[in-house]
Amino acid sequence: MFDHFKFIAPFYDRLMGPPDPLRLMGLLKLPAAGWLLDGGGGTGRVSLPLRRLVGNVVVSDISQHMLARAGARALPAVRARAEQLPFGDGTFDRILVVDALHHFTRQRAAIGDLVRVLKPGGRLLIEEFDLNRTAVKLIALAERTTLMRSRFFRPQEIRDMLADRGLKTQIQADRRLTAWIIADKT
């Protein structure tokens, strides 16, 4: 399989821009002692500013080129598919998946494994492009055209996948082209 991220990694952070740490703090209910998994976190761009608020961060991604950038930031980086995470049940207090779910090979299986490694009382936060918006449909088409094998879902579909796993869920729309799906494990 062609690794698009080999070519994107050197300029990914500039292309995507900085995250909004204050917004992430609120959505993830930080600070909170414990472990944060940045699933599909690539370069660690999003989790780096959160490291001081949780204590421990692990970036997991399949692209070794993206993970090399996370490692250069002194973030522990683990190469793994989201569908087969190499962590024990209930390892993480918080899990963050930003702009990555559509890149996972098998999204439903990935959600199952993310829920598996989330502690009871933990929170999973997924930010994804909102397929209800016309501009996002064009992004999805562009990614398909470049053979990225991306599969986009509507926020309601992601919420339902999480609710099917017994999590309490909610959706927060974004003014941009994304939506936040928040899931709490009871």
9 in a domain, yes or no?
no
Q: What was the pLDDT predicted at 7?
A: 57
pTM: predicted TM-score of the whole model, two decimal places: 0.89
pLDDT in tens, the chain (186 residues): 445 666 565 566 666 677 889 999 999 999 999 999 999 999 999 999 999 999 899 999 998 988 998 999 999 999 999 999 999 999 999 999 999 999 999 999 999 999 999 999 999 999 998 888 878 788 777 777 765 678 889 999 999 999 999 999 999 987 778 999 999 999
Q: What was the pLDDT predicted at 8?
A: 65
Tokens of 170: 């909610």
Number of domains in the chain: 1
52 in a domain, yes or no?
yes
Contact 29, 184 (CB under 8 A): no
158 in a domain, yes or no?
yes
Q: What is the CATH number of the domain that holds 55?
A: 3.40.50.150
Q: Where are the alpha helices (DSSP H) in the chain?
A: 5-8, 12-16, 21-28, 51-54, 64-72, 107-117, 134-145, 155-163
Domain membership of residue 81 as a residue range: 34-184
Distance, CA of 75 to chain centre: 16
51 in a domain, yes or no?
yes
Q: What was the pLDDT predicted at 162?
A: 97
Q: Report the side by side order of strands in the sheet with 118-129.
A: 77-79, 55-61, 34-39, 92-98, 118-129, 178-184, 168-173
110 in a domain, yes or no?
yes
Of the candidates 23, 36, 4, 41, the one whose C-alpha atom is nearest the C-alpha of residue 118 is: 36
Contact 98, 44 (CB under 8 A): no
150 in a domain, yes or no?
yes
Q: What was the pLDDT predicted at 76?
A: 97
Q: What was the pLDDT predicted at 148?
A: 65
Q: What was the pLDDT predicted at 137?
A: 82
75 in a domain, yes or no?
yes
Of the candidates 39, 183, 159, the one whose C-alpha atom is nearest the C-alpha of residue 99 is: 39
Tokens of 161: 């996948």
Distance CA 76, CA 71 (A): 6
Contact 38, 44 (CB under 8 A): yes
Q: What was the pLDDT predicted at 2?
A: 44
Q: Which amino acid is at 57?
A: V
Which 8-state DSSP code applies to residue 125? E
59 in a domain, yes or no?
yes
